[in-house]
Chains A and B, each alone.
Chain A
Amino acid sequence: MPLQQTMRYESERDRAFADWVESITGGENVKGCIQCGLCSATCPLSIYMDYTPRRLVNLARAGFKDEVLSSFTIWLCASCYACRAECPKQIKVTDIMYALKRRAIREGSYPRRFPIPILAKEFSRMIRGFGRTPETFLVADLFLRTNWLRFLDMIGLGLNLLRTGRMSFVPESIQGRDQLRRILDSVDGESAKEERAVKEAA
Chain B
Amino acid sequence: MNYLYYPGCSLKGTGRAYDESLKAVCRALGITLSEVPDWNCCGATAYMSVEETRAHALAARNLSLADAAAADKGLKRDIIAPCSACYLVLAKTLHALDEQIETRVLVERALKAGGLDMPKAGLQVRHPLDVLVNDVGLAAISAKVKSPLKGLKLAPYYGCQLVRPYAAFDDQAHPVTMDRLMAASGAECVDFPLKTRCCGGSLTGTVPDAGLRLAYIILKEAKKRGAHAVVTVCPLCQFNLDGYQDKIAAEFEEVAMPVLYFTQVLGLALGLSERELGIQRGIVPAEPALAGRR
Could you tell me which A residues sit within 8 Å of B by CB distance?
Answer: 25, 44-45, 48, 75-76, 78-82, 84-85, 92, 94, 98-99, 101-102, 105, 115-117, 119-121, 123-124, 127, 131-136, 139, 142, 154, 156-157, 160-161, 163-168, 172, 174-176, 179-180, 182-190, 193
Contacts and interface: CB of A to CB of B under 8 A. Distances in A.
Contact of A183 (B110, B164, B214): B110
B72 interface: no
A135 B165 contact: no
Interface string B36-63: 0011110111111111111001100100
Contacts of A193: 52-53
List the 3 closest pairs (A to B, CB-CB), nearest first.
Answer: A81-B164, A80-B160, A78-B201
22 contacts: A25-B100, A44-B197, A45-B210, A78-B201, A78-B202, A80-B197, A81-B160, A85-B165, A101-B50, A105-B50, A117-B49, A124-B51, A131-B40, A139-B205, A157-B246, A164-B280, A167-B14, A175-B38, A176-B38, A176-B40, A183-B116, A187-B53
Interface centre among B39, B54, B115, B116 (most CB of A within 10 A): B54
Contacts of B283: 160-161, 163-164
Nearest to A160: B283
Contacts, number: 198
Given A123-B44, A160-B243, 6 more contacts: A78-B201, A85-B164, A121-B50, A132-B9, A172-B9, A187-B107
Contacts of A182: 113-114
Nearest to B203: A78
B13 A99 contact: no
A120 B49 contact: yes
B40 A85 contact: no
A102 B61 contact: no
Contacts of B167: 85
Contact of B9 (A81, A99, A133): A133
A28 B235 CA distance: 33
Contacts of B12: 132, 168, 172
B40 A180 contact: yes
B10 interface: yes
B114 A82 contact: no
A136 B114 contact: no
A190 B207 contact: no
B13 to A, nearest CB: 5
A184 B160 contact: no
Interface of B: 9-10, 12-17, 38-41, 43-54, 57-58, 61, 100, 106-107, 109-111, 113-116, 160-161, 164-165, 167, 172-173, 196-198, 200-203, 205-207, 209-210, 214, 243-244, 246-247, 280-283
A172 B206 CA distance: 23
Nearest to A176: B38
Contacts of A168: 12-13
Contacts of B13: 134-136, 166-168, 172
Contacts of B172: 85
A137 B283 CA distance: 20
Contacts of A124: 43, 46-47, 50-51
Contacts of B53: 187-188, 193
Contacts of A84: 164-165
B61 A183 contact: yes
B41 A127 contact: yes
A76 B207 contact: yes
A120 B58 contact: no
B282 A133 contact: no
Contacts of A183: 57-58, 61, 110-111, 113-114, 116
A94 B165 CA distance: 10
A165 B16 contact: yes
A188 B41 CA distance: 20
A125 B161 CA distance: 24
B50 A116 contact: no
B113 to A, nearest CB: 4
B3 to A, nearest CB: 21
Contacts of B50: 101-102, 105, 120-121, 123-124, 190
B281 A123 contact: no
Nearest to A156: B246
Contacts of B110: 183-184, 186-187
Contacts of B115: 179
Given A76-B203, A116-B207, A166-B281, A187 B54 contact: yes
A120 B201 CA distance: 13
